[in-house]
Amino acid sequence: MTITPVHGAGLGLRRNLLSSLRETTTAEIQFMEVAPENWINVGGRFGKQFRAYTERFPFVCHGLSLSIGSPAPLNLELLHAVKDFLRVHDIRYYSEHLSYCSDDGQLYDLLPIPFTEEAVHYVAGRIRQAQDILEQRIAIENASYYCAPQQEMSESEFINAVINEADCDLLLDVNNVYVNSINHRYDPLEFLKALPGERTAYMHIAGHFHEAEDLRVDTHGAPVIPSVWALLERAYQLFGVKPTLLERDFNIPPLTELLDEVKQIQRLQAQCDTANTARPKAIGG
């Protein structure tokens, strides 16, 4: 069963937005997201400000450092700290990247997991272990990647196999689909169609850097481009409207510009909801 922990359009809460978003309401932003590693054990002024947000807005968490594909054992201390953090702040849901960022130490980047059958079993087992500790389902995000070492299956086959074996959900990052489609030369719409849309808990959308005609870099540091907005609309048409969050990590624009992008998510959601309602149902459907 797919979990829909929140609804509408969301925004990633960054520390430098704590003041500017103070007067924002849930009519403008329906939910927010943070990386728990950035807030666990944070007290003082920032801790109080964060608590004020979690009391006003529904929240989800998107982890940065669980390193689900790492050769090293899962960080159980981190998982238990995340579990407490979710409970204390009434966080609705937890997600992580389908990648890894550590071995004996932190590698400070999200690295691609080999698309192999062995990796499917290994990663799925670690996801099940994390879900058992957290006592809840989690979502795994399709990651951007720039090389595919030891590839035995396609990216979409790998994602499907991991999600099915782990019995977890998908965090569908639409920008990552677009970036990967350019860098690895595949059709983004066909890739979307191959994903388990019924398992999608929520979605991400973001901007990226145009390095070259055949290279895009996932930065979260620019406005969302028209091609990515169009792909989000197609994702809604394929899978139904899902909660969708705007990520912006640096080059933060004025709040009005951020909210304009959140409003664009809301407009697409309303249009697709209307279209889905108006579409005739199949006989027997």
Residue 127 pLDDT = 96
Asked if the structure places residue 39 within a domain, the reply is yes
Total number of domains constituting the chain = 1
Q: Tokens 């990226």 identify what position?
A: 208
On the question of pLDDT at 225 being above 80, the answer is: yes
Asked if the structure places residue 3 within a domain, the reply is no
pLDDT digits (tens, 9 = 90+) for 262-273: 999 999 999 998
Between CA 28 and CA 21 the distance in angstroms is 10
Asked if the structure places residue 69 within a domain, the reply is yes
Torsion of CA 187, 9, 63, 219, to 10 degrees: 50
Q: How confident is the model at residue 281 (pLDDT cuts 50, 70, 90)?
A: very low
Residue 2 pLDDT = 45
Mean pLDDT, residues 124-134 taken together = 96
Residue 104 pLDDT = 57
Asked if the structure places residue 285 within a domain, the reply is no
DSSP annotation of 281 reads: P
Q: How confident is the model at residue 285 (pLDDT cuts 50, 70, 90)?
A: very low
- Give the structural domain span for 122: 9-278
Asked if the structure places residue 222 within a domain, the reply is yes
Q: Is residue 95 within a helix (H) or strand (E), and if so which, with residue range?
A: strand 94-97
pLDDT digits (tens, 9 = 90+) for 138-193: 999 998 777 777 789 999 999 999 999 999 999 999 999 999 898 879 999 999 99
Asked if the structure places residue 283 within a domain, the reply is no
pLDDT digits (tens, 9 = 90+) for 10-52: 999 999 999 999 999 999 999 999 999 999 999 999 999 999 9
Asked if the structure places residue 4 within a domain, the reply is no
Between CA 37 and CA 190 the distance in angstroms is 35
270: CB partners within 8 A, 6+ apart: none
Mean pLDDT, residues 204-213 taken together = 85
Phi, psi (deg, nearest 5) at residue 27: -75, -30
Q: How confident is the model at residue 212 (pLDDT cuts 50, 70, 90)?
A: confident
Burial classification of residue 123, based on how many CB atoms lie within 10 Å of its CB (0-12 exposed, 13-18 middle, 19 or more buried):
buried
Mean pLDDT, residues 233-261 taken together = 95
Mean pLDDT, residues 85-101 taken together = 90
Residue type, 278: A
Residue 190 pLDDT = 97
User: What mean pLDDT is reported for the chain?
Assistant: 89
> Domain with 149 in it: what CATH number?
3.20.20.150
Asked if the structure places residue 185 within a domain, the reply is yes
Residue 101 pLDDT = 62
Q: How confident is the model at residue 220 (pLDDT cuts 50, 70, 90)?
A: confident
